[in-house]
Amino acid sequence: MEQLAEIRSLIARHIGTDGQATPLPGVRLLCSTVPTEPINGFYEPAFGLVAQGAKRTLVGNRLFEYGVGQYLIVSLDLPIAGHVIEASAEQPYLAFRLSLNPSVIASLLLEATTGHQKNGEAIGLAVSVAPTELLDAVARLLRLLDRPDDLAVLWPMLEREIHWRLLNGEQASSVRQIGLADSRLSQINRAIRWIRAHYAEIFRIEDLADVAGMSVSAFHRHFKAITAMSPLQYQKQIRLQQARAWLIAESRDVASVGFAVGYDSPSQFSREYRRLFGVPPGKDVTRIRSIPIPEPALA
């Protein structure tokens, strides 16, 4: 497609040395010249578009694979494991990411006179083929990188247009619920924020259901449908990813880090760490400190 070719060209020209930040608010550009190892990380609500190459992402027990011309919607905070599976020096993996703005979505829903009323079940991550209208909006937004004087005037309109295209796309239900304070997605997100803030604490499902404002059975059902994992599995991933970050960044022994993230037993901590990351904590940290670790980025 003509728009994809232009998007590839714009990303490649403006990718920069860090392959990440741009002057456009909430926009990041991604590039890899080689396939990568699986990297555990965190996705936050965003829209991502693959312009070249392909990537694979695991969320709970769901595996997603997406490539050229496909986009993904992440509708809430999700622990993931992702890696680039198709990239080379001649044809690097290139992708675009835009943070989704609940205020913009809410404003568009208020202004819309028809449609967007169906409140289907949202899921945490979904992949679709990008329609021409969406690609065109992304291309016009990226052109602002060549026209910084236009940024202040055109950025708000283009940000709104992309959100509007997403509200009219296959993942409309998930996007719509990001902007609704009383949606199932927002209710589950309240519980997720609680887990992230209290990941080292023991909790009862009944208490999380109260935070979400749902019955226990409804909460458990919707949490798993949206995140592809149970609340306890979600907490475990948060604990282990935080433990890994501490072990890499600080000179702390394995046992003390395990206790700090909520484990009572060093052996249980090491066992679950190995199950998620493939190797015991000590070996993992030694390996990681010897190589640069790319940031796990959406799309």
Contact 268/281 with Cβ under 8 angstroms? no
Furthest-apart CA atoms within the chain: distance in Å: 59
What is the rounded distance in angstroms from the CA atom of residue 278 to the CA atom of residue 40?
Answer: 11
Q: In the numeric block, which tokens belong to residue 251?
A: 């000179």
Q: Report pTM.
A: 0.87
pLDDT per residue as tens, the chain (299 positions):
789 999 999 999 988 644 566 889 999 999 999 999 888 888 999 999 999 999 999 998 899 999 999 999 999 999 999 999 999 999 999 999 999 999 999 999 988 765 555 556 678 999 999 999 999 999 999 999 999 999 999 999 999 999 999 999 999 999 999 998 888 999 999 999 999 999 999 999 999 999 999 999 999 999 999 999 999 999 999 999 999 989 888 778 899 999 999 999 999 999 999 999 889 998 888 877 666 555 556 77
CA angle 221, 235, 222 (to 5 degrees): 15
Q: 56 burial class (0-12, 13-18, 19+ CB within 10 angstroms)?
A: middle
